[in-house]
A and B are shown apart, each in its own frame.
Chain A
Amino acid sequence: MALVFAPQLSGAANQRVVRSRLRFDVRAHFCQNADGLVDSSSARETGDEIRVNRLVRLDRREAATRLDAQHRVDAFVLAEQRALTLITTFEYSMISTWNAFVFLLVVILTLRTRLHRIEEPPHVAWDETHFGKHANFYLNRTFFFDVHPPLGKMLLALAGYVTNYNGSFEFDKPGDQYGDHNYTGMRTFCALIGSTVVPSAYWSVYLLTESVTAAFIASILIIFDTGTLTLSQYILLDPMLMGFIAFSTCSLTFFHRYRNREHWFSISWWFWLAMTGFFLSCAFSVKFVGLFVILLVGFYVIWDLWDLMGDMKNSLTVIGLHFLARATCLIVLPAMIYLAFFAVHFHILNNSGPGDAFFSSAFQSTLKGNELYNSQVPEYVAYGSMITLKNHRSGGGLLHSHYHLYPEDVGVMQQQITAYSHKDENNLFLVKKAEIDLDPDSPVEFVRSGDSIRLEHVATKRNVHSHVAQAPLTVRHFQVTGYGENGTGDANDFWRLEVIDGQMGDLIRTVHSLIRLIHVNVGCALHSHDKQLPKWGWEQLEVTCNPVVRDSNNLWNVEGHVNDKLPKGNVNFFKPSFFQAVIEAHKIMTQVNSNLKPKEGEVTSKPWQWPINYRGQRFSGYLADSFRVYLLGNPVVFWANLSWIVVFCALFSVRAVVLQRGYRESSDVKQYRDRMSFAALFFLLGWFLHYFPFFLMGRVLYFHHYFPAFLYNSMLTGVVVEFVLKSVSKVVTLWSKQRHHETIVYFTLLGLFVALLTQSFTLFSGLSYGMEGPLSDNLNSTMYGLKWMDSWEF
């Protein structure tokens, strides 16, 4: 038909314009033609449409009888023009009104559900304690460290700032009453940005399927899911993450809309491409989970470019331009935006704070209030100095010890030496000569490269010691312990100090000198890396003695330095550039992220539990009669979503086999099915990419990680339900031979489905809006009888 035939038309300029308009509108016609809503939205239209279709079909049949190619083309153009005038007069406008109406309904429902009881509970719930604190840090401009990129927390701080929250509430622990502090501003902001997932999902589905029903079903599934609702009502990063993920998906579908030749490089085309890139970087800047939507877009782009390449009408130059445009908008632009967020982050946080010790000494010297800021430390290390030693690797900790011993089965049972990422009294070590004890009255003698020294832990008076025994985690290294009584140990406490890139006899400059400590007897070097000790070691980093002396993790620098006999020198520190700071921050984030282990007694979950809604998370309270909020998906929505994935896979495989076997579908059926399966495959891929990577992750996982995947699953369900409803009603019509039955069946089933969802939401909405009174196994509870799975805890 028009679409199939169009590429054969010759390319006169004016004809092209006509053709493009024609194609767009005629396609719209067919799409809606295939859409049950048009057929059935009013009886008047049905009659009109039959008439239109008959005329169009006649015109085309007539056109197809022309033998001569040029004549045939002309006849087709005429036919399409007539069809266009017939269709556009009422139908297209009608569908737009209908669409706008449904969309408005969806938006109102979303806001109504999301903003309802936003102020409840008036105390800190779940992770609000973290993110609230983070917002405080921004508002107070103190430096902190977190495993997530900064955008989400900066937006929270901004929302707080705009709504007159001044950062003075402690967010100490879950359950703390907010009192007079204005917390609803930040919650409302989160709820609003969390609400955007619904309109975004609506448009994503509508644009890919051109079906209002599908878009409506997808939206209603998300609206009526208690989990998504709960997650978007609190001061968390997830509403923003989901919002930006949905925005990127939506922008991509708009871009997809403009993928025909006549729209290439048009303003809208560029706009949506750039918007996609922008939202991608926003999603990624909130949490690294945003990577998955980048992958989704990446796969789409590869498919798209591959498609463009296959069309021989496109010259290589054009393809190159396409490639460059995508690279610019989807790689360069997002990278710049991401870096810009970090620039803002570093700019805001310019005061020393709890995150200092994660970063290198050089970086710390840029923070106001840090001991290295304006260099309030003596410049050269002398015997009798008390120093802290910082591992030079990005994310390296400070050499640390404490009274606890290594457990029985780990090496020798002596005092632990670890590396610790926080500033602490226990990080201080006293520098002594190897053989001679310190004389407090002797004149100052500086430490020099090549000297043999002892390091005495100031708090416990034990020396840093090593011997040939297996280190606790890195089995090929040797154990490092604290040994001796009151600073007297044995020959295994001697370390030779070497300055890297220096001569023998060089002085040791605070922060500047990179040093290596080599164990005199064993010949190994003091080493620390990113492995965390188990609970007995307080999850601090392991310190070992590495037989490979040249390893880059054997390098340390003096960070803190206390010596009353020495003047506080004016050491000029090398300040790291912005890029170095960003790279350092990322290395530390990766290290901490991969070391995230469950805290004791904490409920963690496995990815397989998520889609079946196996177990939720407690947001607030768990005892009877307290105010309880429980993050749990609406089970009806979750189980429906899961089963529709199965239905889709079955339908898709059956169709694939039938087509491969040589069956040919009529072209409008094919067009409809192709469009629906493209949409479904796209959302299925989105679901897959946001879900399966979690199976490969070693870190601790929680139920709320599933919700981005849930969005895609709901959109998929919308598409498949629409397809099945339509097919079923068509089949019923074939059987009953009465055309109006199609409408009846279609709307009855749709109504039932929506009624089921609404009912399940009214049943379970207590999970989100808060439950009080007895627990669900009590007869008097509002949730009595709703504990369908034993694993649910409400």
Chain B
Amino acid sequence: MKEASGKKKSSKKPKEPIEEPSKDAKTDSELSGPPSPSNKPERDERGTTTLQTPPITWQINVNPLLAIVAILSATTRLWRLEDPSEIVFDEVHFGKFVTYYTHGIYFFDVHPPLGKQLLALVAHWTNYDGAFDFDVIGREYDPKRVPYYYMRLFPALAGACVPPLAYQIVALTGASHWSAFLTGILLVFDNAMVTQTRFILLDAWLLVFVALVLYSYAKFKSFCDRPFSVEWSLWLGLLGFFLGCVVSVKLFGFFLFLFLGFHTLADLWRLLGDSATSNSILCKHFALRFVALLLLPLLIFASTFWIEFRLLHKSGPHDAFMSRDFQATLAGSRVLTHPEELPQIGQEYRIAYGSHVTLRRSRAPTSEGECWLHSHAHLYPVRYPDERGSSAQQQVTCYNFRDENNWWAIQRRGTTNVTLDNPPVVVRDGDVVHLVHRTTTRRLNSHNVAAPMTPTNQEVSGYINYGDNVSVPHEEWIVKIVGGGGGGDWTSTTSQVKLVHAHSGQALRMTEKRLPEWGFYQFEVTTNSESPADGTEWIVEEVQFGVRDSNATSAVASPLPRTMSFLSKLYEVVALMVTKNSELVEDHAFSSRPGEWPLAGRTIAYWMSNSTSAQIQLIGNPLLWWTASLSVVGYSALLGFYLLRRRRRKYDVDEDEWRRYVSIGWLFVGGWAMHYLPFFAMGRALFLHHYLPASIFKVLLLPCLLDHVYRLFGFPWWRRVIVGVGCLIGIAVALSFWYFSAFTYGLQTLDGEAILARKWLTTWDFLVRRPDGQLGLLY
């Protein structure tokens, strides 16, 4: 880590290695006018030796402040990283995902893949064979089987980069290096930041990429007087690159994307108003930013998925989330998609009277997935809540899962025969049939009763089978083939048919409305006029011949992986992520509301020792979070004051300082708001760690504000007071970090009293192990 920080120094102030040109003695002595200290003693010793080539030396300017920040940062993050050697909190998920990568098994997660891929890369380097089962929090790691230390090390290193980067960002906004130093110290000593980056989690990647984006942006802005120069283009490109990385780690990075979008638009707006910029230059600005800040991140986002789909090619536990087409691309998947495979797996092609079939809705799966015509021995309720009556006959629904109750027998009109004729007679377009539900032997029936959810449609029900030679017209269905091959024969998996009710002329239809509890939330099936209505086309998926035992032939399998275009895969996965993300509404013991975050109102228990009260809690350093939140208030109040005064033509600070003041607000307060306020609109379960990106912005603001206040007045006593306040904050935050560090590292065992003493807020959920070994919350 020390090397890493040393390198950063050199890159910050690039110093050429001093290589003395040594053509001859004369030039040598002339050149070494003020000799560098390292050369001088050497020359003195050698005395009169003239033709001496000076050694190659590197002069590295070390910024001691930055070095201190880097060292402290690395120490706090890496100290005793191997403890606890048990699964901590969400390591249980991400560890499992890494295992899937090692096996190439497809899985679905609400986060984009980059963060997990980086973890998997570490695992790959360290030869993790995927043999460890990440099943439950608190399970002991076996260091031989899982290189958990290294899997923690890399996120921790990434997390350790955040404070030095913060130092640089603050320095780039024009604040003093002491302010930058304070920023670094504050971020080093935030308990929450340390805890969150020490484990196999995605947040460390997220935080470091956020910091890198800010750093690149600050760098980019510092070259804005030299547009299109090499540095300018380089930092613009890096900005786009890191933006892409942020978005690829968590979808939440989208807000940073929007935030920088606003900044870019504001920059461009200023350029628009600048009459010195010609139209062509303007177009160049637009085009470059478009490419770097929109196309490049999207490209990175897409390419992480491209890699994902390449890596994960085997069918796995989350297949059911995906569409059939997607599943078919995974090796070993159990879906059937192509009719030409039918002969291989024993499915027949033509449907004869007496065949047993399952009918699937033929349209591509909607948002609700696909479903099969279904019935079960439950009746429609006699009255609906709106006082309408039903037929109280057996329910017919559309069901999302393969089930024994999805089987229907095709019966010739007016007979009770449910076995094949000899020879079989194929059903043709326009034939009239009955459909008999196999398990309940009721016939598919429709009549002039309003359907449960769609009263304008007719109800469909299962009705008693009256036997031979009795053909109730309500139970007759005309098979109308509207698509697919077969030359007028009804074929499985290719023919799209409409089942038209002979009596009313209406077609069997699935309405995409879910029935309430009495219908087990399955989909409603009705009949409606066939012309415009969606959902009236059905397809026979499986066929059997009068065999009662479904296990015999109903198994379906797809031995060959199929292809699906990358873009449609990408679209499907991202859409699924967004919907699943918003569906995570389940209340969790440690979930919290955004209102509780800025004042560190909640904690999350990450891990607890099996025998003692030693525990790891995600807890924000309270002093830091409180002062930083106060700085947001202070900044806004001061800004309001300045704005009102300026409106009255009273200019309290000079223009440069004012511009800097506004720009730190745009950057840090704006960034904080952009990463915090959207959570209020989210209905899903939220956790304290969602606040960490926002808290970086907040902590960056505090020293900048102090810096501004320092410059406000020239009185020495004032400046001394401000410096004092800065030191005080730094020391207090460090002390409070130390005080709460027992919860950060989980090494120290505190007794109940000591834990209670640290429980500054009643909403903090510290755990305590009672004498009887029972776990309890502490009150």
Tell whether, in the assembled complex, residue A310 and residue B647 are in contact, meaning their CB atoms are under 8 Å apart.
Answer: yes
A678 located at the interface, meaning its Cβ lies under 8 Å from any Cβ of chain B in the complex: no
Q: A535 to B516: give the CA distance in the assembly, Å.
A: 12
Q: A49 to B775: give the CA distance in the assembly, Å.
A: 90
The A274-331 residues at the B interface (CB cut-off 8 A) are: 306, 309-310, 312, 316
Q: A662 to B278: give the CA distance in the assembly, Å.
A: 12
A657 located at the interface, meaning its Cβ lies under 8 Å from any Cβ of chain B in the complex: yes
Tell whether, in the assembled complex, residue B273 and residue A306 are in contact, meaning their CB atoms are under 8 Å apart.
Answer: no
Please give me the residue from chain A that is nearest to B516 by CB atom: A600
A696 and B680 contact, Cβ closer than 8 Å, known pairs A312-B649, A790-B532, A790-B533: yes
B644 located at the interface, meaning its Cβ lies under 8 Å from any Cβ of chain A in the complex: yes
Contact of A777 among B275, B456, B587, B647 (CB under 8 A): B456
Q: A777 to B458: give the CA distance in the assembly, Å.
A: 13
A793 located at the interface, meaning its Cβ lies under 8 Å from any Cβ of chain B in the complex: yes
Q: A696 to B683: give the CA distance in the assembly, Å.
A: 9
Q: In whole Å, how far is A741's beta carbon from the nearest beta carbon of chain B?
A: 34
Q: In whole Å, how far is A395's beta carbon from the nearest beta carbon of chain B?
A: 20
A599 located at the interface, meaning its Cβ lies under 8 Å from any Cβ of chain B in the complex: yes
Across the interface, which residues of A come within 8 angstroms of B760, CB to CB?
none
Across the interface, which residues of B come within 8 angstroms of A548, CB to CB?
762, 779
Please give me the residue from chain B that is nearest to A307 by CB atom: B647
A505 located at the interface, meaning its Cβ lies under 8 Å from any Cβ of chain B in the complex: no
Q: In whole Å, how far is A523's beta carbon from the nearest beta carbon of chain B?
A: 9
Tell whether, in the assembled complex, residue A309 and residue B534 are in contact, meaning their CB atoms are under 8 Å apart.
Answer: no
Q: A661 to B683: give the CA distance in the assembly, Å.
A: 43
Contact of A790 among B386, B517, B534, B587 (CB under 8 A): B534
B681 located at the interface, meaning its Cβ lies under 8 Å from any Cβ of chain A in the complex: yes
Tell whether, in the assembled complex, residue A473 and residue B587 are in contact, meaning their CB atoms are under 8 Å apart.
Answer: yes
A547 and B588 contact, Cβ closer than 8 Å, known pairs A306-B647, A599-B385, A601-B384: no
Please give me the residue from chain A that is nearest to B529 by CB atom: A777
Please give me the residue from chain B that is nearest to A546 by CB atom: B779
Tell whether, in the assembled complex, residue A309 and residue B386 are in contact, meaning their CB atoms are under 8 Å apart.
Answer: no
Please give me the residue from chain A that is nearest to B385 by CB atom: A601
Contact of B386 among A316, A549, A601, A662 (CB under 8 A): A601
B576 located at the interface, meaning its Cβ lies under 8 Å from any Cβ of chain A in the complex: no
B722 located at the interface, meaning its Cβ lies under 8 Å from any Cβ of chain A in the complex: no
Across the interface, which residues of B come within 8 angstroms of A601, CB to CB?
384-386, 453, 516
The A726-749 residues at the B interface (CB cut-off 8 A) are: none
Tell whether, in the assembled complex, residue B275 and residue A662 are in contact, meaning their CB atoms are under 8 Å apart.
Answer: yes
A752 located at the interface, meaning its Cβ lies under 8 Å from any Cβ of chain B in the complex: no
Interface code B497-540, partner A: CB below 8 Å = 1, 0 otherwise?
A: 00000000000000000001100000000000100111000000
Q: In whole Å, how far is A224's beta carbon from the nearest beta carbon of chain B?
A: 26
Interface code A531-566, partner B: CB below 8 Å = 1, 0 otherwise?
A: 000010000000000011100000000000000000
Across the interface, which residues of A come within 8 angstroms of B450, CB to CB?
623
Q: A549 to B777: give the CA distance in the assembly, Å.
A: 13
The B676-734 residues at the A interface (CB cut-off 8 A) are: 680-681, 683
The A441-472 residues at the B interface (CB cut-off 8 A) are: none
B589 located at the interface, meaning its Cβ lies under 8 Å from any Cβ of chain A in the complex: yes
A660 and B516 contact, Cβ closer than 8 Å, known pairs A475-B588, A622-B455: no
Say what secondary structure dominates the interface of chain B.
Answer: loop
B765 located at the interface, meaning its Cβ lies under 8 Å from any Cβ of chain A in the complex: yes
Contact of B589 among A312, A475, A657, A661 (CB under 8 A): A475
A698 located at the interface, meaning its Cβ lies under 8 Å from any Cβ of chain B in the complex: yes
Contact of B385 among A600, A657, A777 (CB under 8 A): A600
Size band of the interface chain B makes with A? 20 to 34
A549 and B779 contact, Cβ closer than 8 Å, known pairs A660-B269, A777-B529: yes
Tell whether, in the assembled complex, residue A660 and residue B272 are in contact, meaning their CB atoms are under 8 Å apart.
Answer: yes
A476 located at the interface, meaning its Cβ lies under 8 Å from any Cβ of chain B in the complex: yes
Interface code A168-204, partner B: CB below 8 Å = 1, 0 otherwise?
A: 0000010000000000000000000000000000000
Across the interface, which residues of B come within 8 angstroms of A599, CB to CB?
385
The A308-359 residues at the B interface (CB cut-off 8 A) are: 309-310, 312, 316
A775 located at the interface, meaning its Cβ lies under 8 Å from any Cβ of chain B in the complex: yes
B23 located at the interface, meaning its Cβ lies under 8 Å from any Cβ of chain A in the complex: no
Across the interface, which residues of A come within 8 angstroms of B26, CB to CB?
none
Tell whether, in the assembled complex, residue B456 and residue A775 are in contact, meaning their CB atoms are under 8 Å apart.
Answer: yes
Q: A548 to B779: give the CA distance in the assembly, Å.
A: 6
A695 located at the interface, meaning its Cβ lies under 8 Å from any Cβ of chain B in the complex: yes
Please give me the residue from chain A that is nearest to B683 by CB atom: A698
B2 located at the interface, meaning its Cβ lies under 8 Å from any Cβ of chain A in the complex: no
Q: A622 to B454: give the CA distance in the assembly, Å.
A: 10
Q: A793 to B450: give the CA distance in the assembly, Å.
A: 13
Q: In whole Å, how far is A774's beta carbon from the nearest beta carbon of chain B?
A: 10
Q: In whole Å, how far is B61's beta carbon from the nearest beta carbon of chain A?
A: 44
A476 and B765 contact, Cβ closer than 8 Å, known pairs A599-B385, A600-B385, A622-B455: yes
Q: A662 to B683: give the CA distance in the assembly, Å.
A: 45
The B259-279 residues at the A interface (CB cut-off 8 A) are: 269, 272-273, 275
Across the interface, which residues of B come within 8 angstroms of A475, CB to CB?
587-589
Tell whether, in the assembled complex, residue B649 and residue A695 are in contact, meaning their CB atoms are under 8 Å apart.
Answer: no
Tell whether, in the assembled complex, residue A309 and residue B779 are in contact, meaning their CB atoms are under 8 Å apart.
Answer: no
Across the interface, which residues of A come within 8 angstroms of B144, CB to CB?
none
Interface code A131-174, partner B: CB below 8 Å = 1, 0 otherwise?
A: 00000000000000000000000000000000000000000010
B648 located at the interface, meaning its Cβ lies under 8 Å from any Cβ of chain A in the complex: yes
Across the interface, which residues of A come within 8 angstroms of B529, CB to CB?
777
Q: A312 to B650: give the CA distance in the assembly, Å.
A: 11
Please give me the residue from chain B that is nearest to A547 by CB atom: B779
The A760-794 residues at the B interface (CB cut-off 8 A) are: 775, 777, 790, 793
Q: A661 to B274: give the CA distance in the assembly, Å.
A: 7
Q: A622 to B589: give the CA distance in the assembly, Å.
A: 46
Across the interface, which residues of B come within 8 angstroms of A777, CB to CB?
456, 529
A309 and B648 contact, Cβ closer than 8 Å, known pairs A600-B385, A777-B529: yes
Across the interface, which residues of A come within 8 angstroms of B587, CB to CB?
473, 475
Across the interface, which residues of A come within 8 angstroms of B647, CB to CB?
306, 309-310
Across the interface, which residues of B come within 8 angstroms of A316, CB to CB?
648
A309 and B589 contact, Cβ closer than 8 Å, known pairs A601-B384, A661-B273: no
Q: In whole Å, how far is A784's beta carbon from the nearest beta carbon of chain B?
A: 12
Tell whether, in the assembled complex, residue A793 and residue B273 are in contact, meaning their CB atoms are under 8 Å apart.
Answer: no
Q: In whole Å, how far is B321's beta carbon from the nearest beta carbon of chain A?
A: 23
Interface code A633-661, partner B: CB below 8 Å = 1, 0 otherwise?
A: 00000000000000000000000010011
Please give me the residue from chain A that is nearest to B649 by CB atom: A312
Contact of B273 among A549, A662, A775, A790 (CB under 8 A): A662
Across the interface, which residues of A come within 8 angstroms of B683, CB to CB?
698
Q: In whole Å, how far is B327's beta carbon from the nearest beta carbon of chain A?
A: 30
Tell whether, in the assembled complex, residue B455 and residue A661 are in contact, meaning their CB atoms are under 8 Å apart.
Answer: no
Please give me the residue from chain B that is nearest to A174 by CB atom: B386
Across the interface, which residues of A come within 8 angstroms of B588, CB to CB?
475
Q: In whole Å, how far is B611's beta carbon from the nearest beta carbon of chain A?
A: 21
Interface code A659-701, partner B: CB below 8 Å = 1, 0 otherwise?
A: 0111000000000000000000000000000000001101000
The B755-772 residues at the A interface (CB cut-off 8 A) are: 762, 765
Q: In whole Å, how far is B3's beta carbon from the nearest beta carbon of chain A?
A: 47
Across the interface, which residues of A come within 8 angstroms of B589, CB to CB?
475-476
Across the interface, which residues of A come within 8 angstroms of B272, CB to CB?
657, 660-661
Q: A476 to B647: give the CA distance in the assembly, Å.
A: 52
Q: In whole Å, how far is A702's beta carbon from the nearest beta carbon of chain B?
A: 16
Please give me the residue from chain A that is nearest to B511 by CB atom: A790
Q: In whole Å, how far is B71's beta carbon from the nearest beta carbon of chain A?
A: 40
9 A–B pairs (Cβ distance < 8 Å), ordered by A? A306-B647, A312-B649, A476-B765, A476-B777, A600-B516, A622-B456, A775-B456, A790-B534, A793-B456
A interface residues, Cβ below 8 angstroms from B: 173, 306, 309-310, 312, 316, 473, 475-476, 535, 547-549, 599-601, 622-623, 657, 660-662, 695-696, 698, 775, 777, 790, 793
Q: Which 5 A-B pairs have the closest CB atoms?
A: A475-B589, A660-B272, A309-B647, A660-B273, A696-B681
B interface residues, Cβ below 8 angstroms from A: 269, 272-273, 275, 384-387, 450, 453-456, 516-517, 529, 532-534, 587-589, 644, 647-649, 680-681, 683, 762, 765, 777, 779
Known: A309-B647, A661-B272. 10 other contacts (CB 8 A): A309-B644, A473-B587, A476-B589, A600-B516, A601-B385, A657-B272, A775-B456, A790-B534, A793-B455, A793-B456
